[in-house]
Every structure is written in structure tokens, then in C-alpha cells.
Amino acid sequence: MPKLNLGLLGENISKSPSPILHNLIYNYFNIDAEYKLYELKTKDFHEKVNYLLENNYGLNVTMPYKELIIKYIKELSYDAKKIGAINTIKDGVGYNTDYLAFKNILSQYDVRSCLIIGAGGSARAASFALSELNPNLILIYNRSIERAQKLIDDLKKINSNVKFIKNLNGVDVDVLINTVPVEIEFNVKPKTLYIDLVYTRKAKKISKNITDGIDFLIEQGLLSDAIWFNIKVDEEVIKYVREFIRKSF
């Protein structure tokens, strides 16, 4: 049986540590598979996406394609359909392990208020996961008001406590989730937790609990491997993988 191909589809992903993560896991479980990076420019996406879907056992999807790729997927999981974005594909079915990772992380804390920076696929996953915790307030900040309003309108179908804000400074929240890759100046110190999804930068030490981009990548990546191969990774292996990636990256 030939080696199984899997990989990450996105734009500007050459520095992604995802291959390190997944190939370590496949080696540990003796899975004959290889995880690669599939970097596509937006202008080439529609021409090449079907080939990647047909020639890979599984795919992860990152910016800016988490919503765009849905039209090429046969079926969506219940969560992915609700969110309107996917990041994991197997057998033509789209899943959202960002959403599952956010649920796993956020459920450990008492979250009454949250600020989300961004309104793309990751922000959608975060906000829908948050809504299930019934917070008193979810604030959305995004440079594109139209995109933010679309997310807010979708969220209000299940949670009415969602608002758009125009200014980040001085916002008082329990949790701050930063999903955007560009640097944005803000003066927010969340009381409980700061999550920064961007693995190429060092998360600001602005809260007593920090989940940085590598921590989150590992959380959602292992959930993808569970979908593809029905495996569960214990804490000792996760600790080793985390340390290995941080040394290698």
C-alpha cells in the first residue's frame, strides 16, 4: 500500500510547523503517511484545489481558504455547517477542529466576556465555540466592518450578546482571542486568558493564562489526526511534541 499523502492548504504557509507536528505523530504511531505543505496563491486556488482534494488522504485548510473551499466539499459536519468554515477534510467531508480546540481550551475557564480580533474562519470557530459557553458579552473587532457584521448576524441567531466595537483600547474582558496575522496595536489585558493564533510571533504576556499559536496548532492538529486515523495522543507525547516544535521552529 502506497504512503498516504496529507497536508496543509493555504497561502503564505512556508514557515508552518504543521509538517513537524503531524510527521512526528505518524512516526510515533507507525502510520505510513507524510504530511506536506500545499501553498497556493489565491489566483491559482480554483484551478488546483480539486487535484489536491483527489490526491490526498486528508487535508488541513488555513487562511484564506477556510470558507472558500466549502463549495468543493461533498458534505459538512454539523459543527462546520453551523460555523460556515472548515479546516479539516477527510473523504470529502469538511470538519472544523479549530472549533473543537477552542471548546476544549475555553471550557477550562469561567468566560463571561470575550473580545475577538478578526472575523475570518478562525474567528468564526472561536465565536461559535464561545457562544456555547453562554457568555454575557462577545465583542468583535475587525478592520472590515462588513465582514464583522456578517459574523455578528450569524452569531445572533444563537446568542444575542454580540457587539461590534470600533476601538480596541481599554476594553475590559475575561478572554482575548487574536486571530489576525497582521500586527495590531491594542491596550487590552484580559483577566483570565489570552489566545494568540499566530505561531510566527511571540504572544504578549498580558494575561495570567496564555495559549500561543504553537499551543493552539498542536491542539487542533491532533484533533485532525484523530479524525483521519482515530488516534488519541497522551500528555507525555504532547509535551515531547511541543518541546520539539519549539526547539525546531
- Residue 66 annotated as catalytic: yes
Q: What is the 3-state secondary structure of 10-48?
A: ECCCCCCCHHHHHHHHHHHCCCCEEEEEEECCHHHHHHH
Location of C-alpha cell 473551499? 69
Cell of 161: 450578546
Q: Which position among 43, 66, 156, 239 bears the catalytic label?
A: 66
Strand order in the sheet with 4-10: 33-39, 4-10, 58-61, 88-90, 93-95, 75-76
Q: At what angle do helices 97-106 and 121-131 cross, to 10 degrees?
A: 40
Q: What are phi and psi of 127, to 5 degrees?
A: -70, -35
Sign of the dihedral through C-alpha 176, 86, 155, 151: positive
Active site residues: 66
